[in-house]
Structure 1
Amino acid sequence: MAKVLYSVTLSVDGFITGPGGDMRWMRPYLGPNPEVDELVPRIGAILVGRRTHDGDDPYKGEPNEGEAFGGGFSGPEYVVTHRPPADARPGVTYVDDFAKALAAAKDAAGDKYVNVMGASIAKQCIEAGELDEVLVLYAPVMLGDGTRLFEHPGGRTVRLERRSVTETPLATSLWFDVV
């Protein structure tokens, strides 16, 4: 059965994008990462929100712009949106209901991960009790503003249990189980 994983690169001050959804800040930290290289083949499907799917791309101007993990992932992507585009990319399914999109992604993933992209979709997974793991790649940078990893007005405690810590020259990865 598929597990749901939120994997994300994060600034030290807690942002996954810069102001206005800018992800160019991430480029210096996208170099080789053995943990990510080992993870990508274990991903069976992507679950992503429309804003993240269509948003700024850290690989902008590169040959694999617009592709998950810079082209490292090839498989089904499920985009949660109420505004599906007229011209969908092959392998991308637009779904107007979060629960249906998650179920389809889990079915497609089989015994691999459903990799969640985007703070809003991750939050919906948490609220539905469907998030199993979190992999945070801390980049040594502070952004000061942008989209937070997890934001819940009034607060919400989500207990995590550390699974592993991995250091690379470009980032420090912390992998957690959601308790």
Structure 2
Amino acid sequence: MAKVIILTGDAAETLEVFYPYQRLREAGYDVHIAAPEKKKLQFVVHDFVEGFDTYTEKPGHTWDADIAFRDVDPADYVAAVVPGGRAPEFIRNDEDAKRIVRYFFDHDAPVAALCHGPMLLAAAGVLQGRTSSAYPELKVDVELGGGIFENGGAVVDGNLVSGRAWPDHPEWMRAFMAVLEARA
């Protein structure tokens, strides 16, 4: 069974971890969650409240990480997923997380990134000249990482499929599954 890795950590958006996790398992992939440490992760729920300029954050589900970044051999996986939430803010500083991301881009393997996920891609140096979506307020982060920002729900640039946030799940995962199956 082919394996897919999800790169995340504490404060990841619950929906953005669980939707690809379950969709990929439904399609027959063995999905592993990697984090800075192999431990129980605390996810969060982001939602919009009338009158607020940005989203609010509440505690979400907990889930065990299967493997620490340092123990990941990316050659064991056919694709990677980088969900959003606040986790990408801190995992982008993890050298092993960046190593894993670079592997997938160096090997033209499928990568799905959503919401704040492109922050890790920018830190890994793989967005140079690439078109990527992200949470719209991260346009500057995509551009500072050398990328071209596109405000879309399923932006495909070669092996990279990106979207804005969890409301884009159907379009984002449909496009990612098509890239994944085409490269299988």
Bin of the TM-score, shorter chain as denominator length: 0.3 to 0.5
Higher relative contact order (CA 8 A, sep 6+): 1
State TM-score, norm by structure 2: 0.35
- More strand by percentage: 1
